[in-house]
Amino acid sequence: MTARILVMPGDGVGPEICREAVRVLEALVNDHGLDIELHEALVGGAAIDAEGDPLPESSLAAAREADAIVFGSIGGPAWDGLERAKRPESGLLRLRSELGLFANLRPAILYPQLAHASALKPEVVSGLDIMIVRELTGGIYFGQPAGHGTDEAGRREAWNTMRYNDAEIERIGRTAFNIARARGGRLCSVDKANVLDVSQLWRDVMNETAVDYPDVELSHMYVDNAAMQLVRAPKQFDTVVTTNLFGDILSDAAAMLTGSIGMLPSASMDANGKGLYEPVHGSAPDIAGQGLANPLAAILSVAMMLRYTLDRSDLADKVEAAVGYALDRGLRTRDIMNQETQVASTQEMGGAIVDMLR
Ligand code: IPM
Ligand code: MG
């Protein structure tokens, strides 16, 4: 059956990197029999400008109908002054929530060709291969009560609630155990159980769930220590599972271990294999529209889509191999370049991947 793919380019560098991701998909359709149809919808600031809403009803409907979404990036200074519900970020959060995309997979892999780009010593990061599994539709991002007001003394105050029930924890736990089982067999659950009740429940449920995965070695770590260990000795981690907020922070740190956040893809999955695939990097408004952005995170997100939603690991392997060849040949966008390499534009990098797929 033909899979329906929705492209949501968004803002900043989103459109230009999505264009390269789409070229890769088109090459797979033409030369490798990939059976998809492509659609496009507005999201983020682009949707605010056109329709006054970061996630218009028509875009949400298109996203519901799609089997998978290729997402660019959203946000920028033009929309930062708006009230929270109208900002681009709210569109993305609503999309995650409405589609039930609870499992966010963020791999941090160091390409040997890019070891120089990491701020850490090569021996600390060489061979790095971590998978962060972040809970994406609960916790403090969505917990109620949340709001702001004024107390009896007239002081302004604001509050959010970090809240999880056992079913939400077990659900992301099972996803993470299954991923760990298919990788190195080790799962580290990150929490703040020394202080937070919600973290104690998280830890209890992870321990209960572990009974069904005797072949996976479960460990626990406090989030402050995890942040430190990630930059001290990152290779100790195989698969990490954590909450929405902690995962947001730790995945940015893990991304930078690899030298450039411009290389890293992510998948946000529902319970039935539907996914939203997006680069970990943001909209980078400072370099938007100049052909400087690295399209590899978007292209590698397409590889994740091929693997996790479209069941075409064969093609995912091809795309990932093409990225490796491009790096071997010395192609570098500005974010990953060094003295010995020449700068490639967004389009040149995308074009090189397309050529290698033929
Ligand atoms: C991310 C981003 C988002 C988040 C923002 C843009 C709402 O930082 O995907 O990590 O906090 O989840
Ligand atoms: Mg983030």
Pairing of strands 147-150, 186-191: unpaired
Q: Report whether residue 43 contacts ligand 1, using a CB cutoff of 6 Å.
A: no
- Least reliable range by pLDDT among 124-128, 243-247, 349-353: 124-128
When the pLDDT of each residue in the chain is averaged and rounded to a whole number, the result is 96
- In percent, how much of the chain has pLDDT > 70? 100
pLDDT at 115: 84
pLDDT at 269: 98
pLDDT above 90 for 30: yes
Determine which residue's CA is closest to atom 10 belonging to ligand 1: 248
pLDDT at 118: 86
Residue 221 CB burial class (10 angstroms; 0-12, 13-18, ≥19) = buried
Task: Report CA-CA distances (Å) from 292 to 29, 187, 200, 285, 324.
Answer: 27, 37, 45, 11, 20
> Ligand 1 atom closest to Cα of 89?
7
pLDDT at 117: 82
What SS3 state is found at 6? strand
The Å distance, Cα 330 to ligand 2 centre, comes to: 29
- φ/ψ (deg, to 5) at 182: -85, -10
Q: Report whether residue 166 contacts ligand 1, using a CB cutoff of 6 Å.
A: no
The Å distance, Cα 30 to ligand 2 centre, comes to: 35
pLDDT digits (tens, 9 = 90+) for 250-304: 999 998 898 888 899 999 999 999 999 999 989 999 999 999 999 999 999 999 9
Segment 9-19 mean pLDDT: 98
pLDDT above 90 for 342: no
Residue positions counted in the chain:
358
Question: Which of 55, 92, 102, 140 is the best mutation target for the ligand 1 pocket, counting ligand atoms within 8 Å of the beta carbon and taking the most?
Answer: 92
Q: Please name the residue that has the structure tokens 């996976």.
A: 216
Q: Report whether residue 170 contacts ligand 1, using a CB cutoff of 6 Å.
A: no
Q: Report whether residue 252 contacts ligand 1, using a CB cutoff of 6 Å.
A: no
> Ligand 1 atom closest to Cα of 251?
10
pLDDT at 351: 97
User: Which ligand is nearest to the Cα of residue 104, counting in written order?
Assistant: 1
CA 203 to chain centre: 24
pLDDT digits (tens, 9 = 90+) for 132-162: 999 999 999 999 999 999 999 999 999 999 9
> Ligand 1 atom closest to Cα of 248?
10
Determine which residue's CA is closest to atom 2 belonging to ligand 1: 248
Segment 293-322 mean pLDDT: 97
pLDDT digits (tens, 9 = 90+) for 195-249: 999 999 999 999 999 999 999 999 999 999 999 999 999 999 999 999 999 999 9
pLDDT digits (tens, 9 = 90+) for 227-241: 999 999 999 999 999
> Ligand 1 atom closest to Cα of 75?
6
Task: Report CA-CA distances (Å) from 200 to 3, 89, 186, 203, 290.
Answer: 41, 29, 21, 5, 48
Residue 150 CB burial class (10 angstroms; 0-12, 13-18, ≥19) = exposed
Determine which residue's CA is closest to atom 11 belonging to ligand 1: 248
* Interatomic CA distance for residues 356 and 326, integer angstroms: 8
Question: Which of 74, 80, 89, 95 is the best mutation target for the ligand 1 pocket, counting ligand atoms within 8 Å of the beta carbon and taking the most?
Answer: 89
Q: Report whether residue 248 contacts ligand 1, using a CB cutoff of 6 Å.
A: yes
pLDDT at 339: 75
Q: Report whether residue 89 contacts ligand 1, using a CB cutoff of 6 Å.
A: yes
User: Which ligand is nearest to the Cα of residue 278, counting in written order?
Assistant: 1
pLDDT above 90 for 116: no
- Ligand 2 ion local residues (Cβ < 5 A): 248
Catalytic residues: 141, 192, 224, 248, 252
